[in-house]
């Protein structure tokens, strides 16, 4: 376990808390019902109040009250009113997001402080002022509550592939596509794409290329991947452990195209994606050698179609972050803390490969 985290929750279920084992524990947390919950409900459970200390617009749809938790297995939680108008010492949990404002009070022993982020450390502010964090809620699998951009769940763990019902290469005339607007990502993805384009057709849409597709017509643009292109560059802006965004899940896997990945480690993608569903640049010593492999797939429909045999073996599911938070607030997992959240957060990223 990371030295920056102290764990005193000896009675908490290991299937709910991070361990050295592979896995994100999301399904276990979704199904978790605190053992004493029935008794508490019978006696009138006190609602767990959650406050959000963050200026990020992602929370704008959350309103004070219990509505967000209405469909949760454990729904005895509520969002407090504006933190600036509420006594924070009465809250059961406080969530500190990417654009958090520091707490002005010392954390009470029975209050849970949660650090939340979907952005990589290189794009987040310093966390040195965050003292007393109990839980982490990020895309990283060693977070207490893993918050992935998406999650694929197999219908049957023993069924990894199915017979194909169609030829996914049929009528596709273009090779590689990429939708991108940030041309200065520290991962160096634009340089890689431009070098790749010297050896195979790469159509770059957006500010960084010469192809255009209206930003307000996202689905129409993505539809081209189903009909015209064989490959898509699901390139992230940073090289960080487990950092896999909608570029891979939504633009890549959920369309009839083979995603080529750069960002997280190959093993991270393998732990999150259906088997044989993507191509990693880690398997090639240069963009030129990758292009050679793509040309091979382009000329062989059988090899190309092998990347789609996972389709139909599972589905992408909602991970219901707030439902999991509510359930865990009623469990002994609350007795955890991070000695140095800054060290924990910034330890798993590199500037380049």
Owner of token pair 């093993």: 267
Model confidence at 288, in pLDDT bands (50, 70, 90)?
Answer: very high
Sheet holding 77-79, edge to edge: 77-79, 48-53, 93-96, 112-117, 135-138
pTM given for the model: 0.89
Gap between the Cα atoms of 149 and 246, Å rounded: 6
Q: What is the pLDDT of residue 99?
A: 82
The fold of the 25-147+320-347 domain, in CATH, is Rossmann fold (3.40.50)
Give CATH 3.40.50.11660 domain extents, the chain: 152-315
How many Cβ atoms are within 10 Å of 323's Cβ, its own excluded? 21
Express each pLDDT in 41-96 by its tens digit: 666 668 999 999 887 777 777 888 999 999 999 999 999 877 667 788 889 999 99
Gap between the Cα atoms of 12 and 10, Å rounded: 6
- The set of catalytic residues is 119
* Beta strand 336-338 pairing with 5-7: antiparallel
Gap between the Cα atoms of 82 and 347, Å rounded: 33
Query: Alpha-carbon dihedral of residues 261, 143, 320, 277, nearest 10 degrees?
Result: 20
Q: Which of 155, 169, 151 is nearest to 308 (CA)?
A: 169
Gap between the Cα atoms of 172 and 211, Å rounded: 18
Model confidence at 145, in pLDDT bands (50, 70, 90)?
Answer: very high
pLDDT of 3 over the 60 cut: no
pLDDT of 262 over the 60 cut: yes
Gap between the Cα atoms of 161 and 169, Å rounded: 18
The answer to whether residues 317 and 128 touch, using CB atoms and an 8 Å cutoff, is: no
Measured CA distances, 341 to 114, 137, 143, 289 (Å) = 11, 12, 11, 40
Task: Tell me the average pLDDT of the chain.
Answer: 88
Q: What is the pLDDT of residue 347?
A: 78
Express each pLDDT in 223-233 by its tens digit: 999 999 999 99
Tokens of 284: 């090639």
Model confidence at 155, in pLDDT bands (50, 70, 90)?
Answer: very high
What integer is the mean pLDDT of 169-189? Answer: 95
Q: Which of 57, 55, 3, 68 is nearest to 325 (CA)?
A: 68
* Beta strand 93-96 pairing with 112-117: parallel
Q: Percent of the chain having pLDDT more than 90?
A: 64
The answer to whether residues 93 and 113 touch, using CB atoms and an 8 Å cutoff, is: yes
Measured CA distances, 250 to 203, 221, 234, 238, 247 (Å) = 19, 12, 10, 18, 6
Gap between the Cα atoms of 115 and 144, Å rounded: 10
Gap between the Cα atoms of 67 and 60, Å rounded: 14
Q: Which of 45, 34, 10 is nearest to 329 (CA)?
A: 34
Q: Which of 122, 124, 33 is nearest to 330 (CA)?
A: 33
Express each pLDDT in 245-255 by its tens digit: 999 999 999 99
Gap between the Cα atoms of 158 and 195, Å rounded: 40
Tokens of 95: 């969530």
The fold of the 152-315 domain, in CATH, is Rossmann fold (3.40.50)
């Amino acid at each position: 376990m990371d030295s920056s985290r102290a764990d005193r929750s000896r009675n908490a279920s290991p299937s709910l808390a991070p361990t050295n084992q592979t896995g994100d524990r999301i399904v276990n947390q979704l199904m978790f019902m605190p053992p004493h919950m029935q008794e508490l409900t019978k006696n009138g459970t006190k609602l767990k109040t959650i406050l959000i200390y963050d200026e990020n617009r992602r929370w704008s749809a959350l309103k004070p009250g219990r509505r967000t938790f209405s469909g949760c297995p454990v729904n005895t939680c509520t969002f407090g009113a504006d933190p600036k108008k509420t006594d924070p010492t009465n809250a059961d949990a406080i969530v500190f997001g990417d654009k958090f404002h520091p707490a002005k009070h010392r954390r009470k022993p029975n209050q849970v402080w949660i650090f939340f982020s979907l952005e990589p450390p290189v794009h987040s502010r310093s966390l040195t002022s965050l003292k007393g964090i109990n839980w982490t809620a990020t895309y990283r699998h060693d977070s207490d509550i893993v918050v992935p951009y998406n999650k694929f769940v197999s219908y049957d763990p023993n069924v990894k592939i199915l017979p194909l019902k169609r030829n996914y290469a049929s009528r596709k005339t273009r090779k590689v596509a990429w939708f991108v607007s940030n041309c200065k990502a520290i991962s160096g993805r634009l340089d890689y794409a431009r070098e790749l384009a010297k050896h195979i057709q790469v159509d770059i849409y957006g500010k960084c290329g010469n192809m255009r597709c209206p930003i307000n017509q996202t689905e129409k643009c993505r539809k081209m991947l189903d009909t015209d292109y064989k490959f898509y560059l699901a390139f992230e802006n940073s090289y960080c452990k487990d950092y896999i965004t909608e570029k891979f899940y939504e633009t890549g896997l959920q369309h009839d195209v083979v995603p080529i990945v750069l960002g997280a480690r190959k093993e991270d993608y393998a732990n999150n994606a259906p088997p044989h569903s993507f191509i990693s640049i880690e398997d090639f010593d240069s963009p030129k050698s990758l292009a050679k492999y793509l040309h091979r797939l382009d000329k062989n429909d059988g090899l190309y179609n092998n990347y789609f045999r996972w389709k139909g073996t599972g589905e992408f599911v909602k991970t219901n972050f707030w439902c999991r938070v509510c359930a865990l607030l009623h469990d002994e997992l609350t007795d955890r803390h991070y000695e140095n959240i800054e060290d924990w957060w910034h330890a798993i990223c590199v500037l380049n490969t």
